[in-house]
Structure 1
Amino acid sequence: MNQAIKMAELDYGDRDTWFEDNTAYSGKQKIWVDKYLVPYLKVAKTDKLKTGGGEVYAIYFADGSAVSMVPTNGRDWWFFSSNPEKCIADNDYSYRKFMGKCAFAFYYNPTRDEDGKINNAGWNFNPFGYGCNGYSENYLKNDPTYGCYSSSSWHGHCTALIQYNNWKFPKDYPFKVRYR
């Protein structure tokens, strides 16, 4: 994704000038994805994806994986390791149930503050939680809301925990990854 974004910058300029925080499956979301991402990726297809929060525009890859914005904004993204429809349906359309198991959270928010300083956490397409609170293993596992443990309310930091572990699942990873 980051390579696609860099290639789009060659055609359209700095990413923060063309980023739009699109929501749900709107025409704007589809137009943005088709213009700034799809031409720079090896895409098998694009299509609507029904989630518990509404429909989103998904990019499918030849290996069966897919990526989509979440239904509520254009900053948060889901990567599905395989078969996103099954991942979502088998978990009652609840991201709280499928996150960290068959979908993984990413964040992309290429913005600058009022002084022009880059938002480092979101400038690139990064795992959700990248750079947060010192970015320690303990924090990624135990944050009350987003921590990667079975009873957390969202499991959003599981992606960052895998990255923290050199893109390998830790031995004590709390979920069985499905749909591969």
Structure 2
Amino acid sequence: MYKSTIAQISGGGQTGFLSAKGFTLAEVLITLGIIGIVAAMTLPTLVAKHRIIVTETALKKFYTNINQAVRLSVADNGETQYWTFADEAYNPEKIEAFYNKYFKDYLKVLENSKTNRAFNIIFSDGSAAGIDYYGKDWTFCLNAKYLQDYSKYIGTKCFIFGFYPMGVGGDCDSSTYSYKNFHNKGVEPYVSCTITEEDGSVNNTTIKDLYKSPSLYTKLIQLNGWKIPKDYPLRL
């Protein structure tokens, strides 16, 4: 009788404990469903933030490294206003010769290649730059695979820089924003001399115009401390 009473008390207590602390299958499934919904809502945001950080880091790294190369080259080859650019705008062999003379020894490049109009350099981290227009226009891409069709990715995967230490020339005189952006400087985010408005009129480019063309978006990022602005026109 004594043992039977103990068994009943013990058994009843264990059953009550499991009922109070355990979870039914339905409750588990509901919890997992909620977790899945939250993950589905937050994951795209996390991925987007990661892409932004990767882009910001890559742009700042390229800008720092390319201009360090310019400074080192100046020490050996003289001031940039005396450098000899390629004498054909889109001749990859002549652009390569310009690159070899002024940049090759000062950049860590994994490999290079040519297209019918540009000389491309690929860095050890997989990013790349295409050089054309006498060696003055530089297209930096987060990955070399984007170079082939870079025009599709301008402002998202590829970003335009320019190297115009004597200024852009032509009608781009010393009063223009573009001239001030490039003159006596190294490789800088591209700023066109003029911009064509929706009504067809052509005006000198100003800071306010930087939002009007993806080729100018690199300058937007630089002006924001190499951080993607919250009102950036494109989704990365």
TM norm structure 2? 0.56
* Structure 1 residues 120-173: Cα deviation after superposition (integer angstroms, max 9, x where no partner): 43232100128986853x32113xxxx2xxxxxxx1111001111111111232
Q: Which has the higher contact order (CA 8 A, sep 6+)?
A: 1
**Which one of 66, 80, 86 corresponds to residue 15 of structure 1?**
80
Bigger Rg, structure 1 or 2: 2
Name the structure 1 match of 2:225: 166
**Which one of 107, 126, 142 corresponds to residue 188 of structure 2?**
126
**Which one of 110, 120, 139 corresponds to residue 165 of structure 2?**
110
Tell me, which stretches of 5 or more residues in structure 2 are unaligned?
1-65, 195-203
Name the structure 2 match of 1:57: 119
Distance 1:131 1:55, change over 3 A: closer
Structure 1 runs of 4+ off > 4 angstroms? Answer: 130-135
Q: Is the 8 A contact 1:60 1:66 kept in 2?
A: yes
Local SS of the residue matching 2:100: helix
Local SS of the residue matching 2:109: coil
- Cα RMSD for the two superposed structures: 2.6
> What pairs up with 1:44-83 in 2 under 5 angstroms?
44-48=110-114, 50=115, 54-70=116-132, 72-83=133-144
Distance in 2 (CA, whole Å) between partners of 1:102 and 1:55 is 20
Work out whether 1:139 is the aligned partner of 2:201: no
Between the two proteins, the alignment pairs up a number of residues equal to 150
Work out whether 1:4 is the aligned partner of 2:66: no
Q: Comparing both structures, which one devotes a greater share of its residues to helix?
A: 2
Tell me, which stretches of 5 or more residues in structure 1 are unaligned?
148-154
* Identity value in percent: 29
Distance in 2 (CA, whole Å) between partners of 1:41 and 1:75 is 17
Q: Which moved more, 1:13-22 or 1:26-35?
A: 13-22
Q: Is the 8 A contact 2:98 2:135 kept in 1?
A: no
